[in-house]
Structure formats: C-alpha cells, structure tokens
C-alpha cells in the first residue's frame, strides 16, 4: 500500500513540477487545472509540455487514457528533439509488434542512445523482431552471440543466426558467415564455402569483394571450382526465396 501511495505522489509531483516550469509561458492562474495548463503549453509548442501531455494520455493521468492522443503529443515533442518522447514513440510501436521499431529499440539499448546501455534488453528486443523473421534482427543476434553481449559467447549460435539472415539476403551476415567458415568458428573450417558466401555478399559489398579476393588466393583450382558452384547455388536459392516472398 505504501508503495502505491509513493508512486501516486511521484506522478503528481512530476505533473505539478512541469506546470510550475511553464507558468511564465502559460499564464497559469491559481487553481487552474494542471492538465489544462499542460495542454496550453503543449499547444504553444513547448516540447517538454508536449512530452508530458503524451505521458498523461498514455497513463490516464489527469486526462482520459488515449493512445492516439498520446502518440500525437509524443510525436510533436519528438520532432523538436525531445529524447524521452522519441524513445516512448519507438517503445509503443515495438510493444505493438512493429518489427522495425523492435530493432530500433534494441539498438537504442545496444548503443545506449536515449536509454541506459543494456545488452540484455537489446537481445530481448532483437529476439522479438527475429520471431517475425526479420533478417536484420537475425544478423544482430549473430553479432551478440559472436561477441558475448547480453548472452554467453557462442560461435555456433552466432553462425546459426548469421546463416538465417544470410539466407534472406543480408550482405553483412553473408560476409560474416563466410568469415566464420574461413576461420572455423562455429562451423567446420572450409575455404570453399567461405569463398561462396563472400562471393554472394560481394554483389552488394566492397568489403566482401576484398575478402573474397583475398581468400581466393589460397584456394586450389578444385576448391575454387567448388566455391564458385556453391556461390551460384546459394545466389539462386536466395533469389528464388525473394521472388516467392514478393508473390505472397
């Protein structure tokens, strides 16, 4: 019970403090409704007021709970560079299942932008996006496993996630998977397969072309022939999958 009272007091103090900050702009009079004062400041373009009004609508504090209004005011504040509003917009979209927003929220935690840096939270949001088959999230999970961030370092898991993203055409994942084969990390060492994945990645990456050409110098004619055949097979498989997805 004490915790609930403390929480309510904190919310009230937060709104009242915001109102005090805007007195000079809003011409708030004694006894004027705090929500109305907040709205006046928000309508006059005060970013922090727009953010707080969005928060009030999101939580039903002083106004009826309304997600549409909440997003509207968060967006106005975000457009003026309010970091908390920008974060809340992304969070709301992520919680509603938007895969791109889930990746963006993961990256915010990954890089500590607008929120405290948190690898575990980054992985959690990458997983949510991956559950929808998002190739970017699969690649990022590979990175987290490869570097032991937010999860135990595991090259086998890293290679698994790189492969999933690579099969969907993610060039960076294709290159990284090639490097895993070249170095025998998480997969059996195989220069021909490494060459194949790097060749596929090279269609959209200068870095991959350099790595492919570098490993090519170490291939026997037999390995090169095998690598080229595998590259053709992989490329055709990915293109076939893309076309099928476009028809859906």
Q: What is the mean pLDDT of residues 148-172?
A: 97
Cβ neighbours around 207 below 10 Å, total: 13
Asked whether the whole model's pTM tops 0.95, one would answer no
Higher-pLDDT residue of 17 and 180 is 180
Q: How far apart are CA 25 and CA 42, in angstroms?
A: 10
pLDDT at 26: 43
Cβ neighbours around 61 below 10 Å, total: 17
Residue 171 pLDDT greater than 90, yes or no? yes
Q: Quick check: 186 and 155 in contact, CB under 8 A?
A: yes
Mean model confidence pLDDT for the chain: 87
pLDDT at 212: 94
pLDDT tens-digit series, residues 55-72: 898 898 888 899 899 889
CA distance readout (Å), 108 to 90, 112, 162, 191: 10, 6, 21, 36
Is residue 56 helix, strand or coil?
A: helix
Residue 223 pLDDT greater than 70, yes or no? yes
pLDDT at 6: 43
Question: Which residue ranges form the domains of the chain, and what is each CATH number?
Answer: 9-96 (1.25.40.10)
pLDDT at 2: 42
Torsion over CA of 178, 180, 186 and 189, rounded to 10 degrees? 80
pLDDT at 210: 93
Nearest Cα residue to 155 out of 127, 172, 176: 176
pLDDT at 116: 92
Q: Please identify which residue in the block is written with the tokens 């028809």.
A: 247
Joined tokens for residue 83: 């970091």
């Amino acid at each position: 019970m004490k915790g609930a009272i403390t929480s309510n007091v904190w919310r009230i103090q937060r709104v009242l403090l915001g109102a005090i900050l805007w007195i000079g702009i809003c011409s708030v009079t004694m006894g004027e409704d705090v929500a109305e004062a907040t709205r006046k400041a928000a309508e006059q373009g005060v970013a922090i007021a727009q953010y707080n009004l969005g928060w009030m609508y999101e939580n039903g504090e002083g106004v009826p709970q309304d997600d549409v209004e909440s997003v509207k005011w968060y967006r106005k504040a975000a457009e003026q560079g309010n970091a908390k509003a920008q974060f809340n917009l992304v969070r709301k979209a992520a919680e509603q299942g938007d895969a791109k927003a889930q990746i963006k929220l993961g990256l915010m935690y990954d890089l500590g932008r607008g929120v405290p840096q948190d690898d575990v939270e980054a992985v959690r949001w990458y997983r949510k996006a991956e559950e929808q088959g998002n190739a970017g999230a699969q690649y990022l999970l590979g990175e987290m496993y490869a570097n032991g961030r937010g999860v135990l370092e595991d090259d086998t898991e890293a290679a698994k996630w790189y492969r999933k993203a690579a099969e969907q055409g993610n060039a960076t994942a294709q290159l990284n998977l090639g490097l895993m084969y070249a170095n025998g990390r998480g997969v059996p060492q195989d220069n021909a397969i490494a060459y194949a994945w790097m060749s596929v990645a090279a269609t959209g990456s200068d870095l991959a072309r350099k790595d492919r050409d570098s490993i090519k110098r170490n291939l026997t004619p037999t390995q090169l022939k095998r690598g080229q055949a595998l590259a053709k097979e992989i490329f055709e498989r990915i293109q076939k999958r893309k076309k099928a997805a476009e028809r859906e």
